[in-house]
Structure 1
Amino acid sequence: MAFLAFSSFTLFSCASSNTTAMEDMSRTETSAMAGMAMDEDDNQLNVLVVEEQVMVPIATLAPTALLMENPEDINDMFDAIDDTENYTVLELARKSPNLTTFVQLIERANLADDLERVEKATLFAPTNEAFAKLPKEKLEMLLRSDNTALLSRILQAHILASEVSTARFNNSTRISMGEDRYIPISTNNPGNTIFVGSAQIVRNDVEASNGRIHVIDSVILPDQDVREGNDIR
Structure 2
Amino acid sequence: LFGYVKGAFTDAKKDKPGRVARAEGGTLFLDEIGDISPAVQVKLLRFLQDREYEPLGAARARKADVRILAATNKDLARLVEEGRFREDLYYRLNVIKLELPPLAERREDIPLLVDHFLKRFNVRMNKRIASVSPEVMQIFMTYDFPGNIRELENALENAFVLCSGSQIREEHLPQELLKRARGASPGDGGGDLLKAAERMTLRKVLEKHGGNRKKAAAELGISPVTLWRKLKMVK
The verdict on a shared fold, with TM-score over 0.5 as the criterion, is: no
Name the TM tier (shorter chain): under 0.3
Whose helix proportion is higher, 1 or 2? 2
Normalised TM-score (structure 2):
0.23
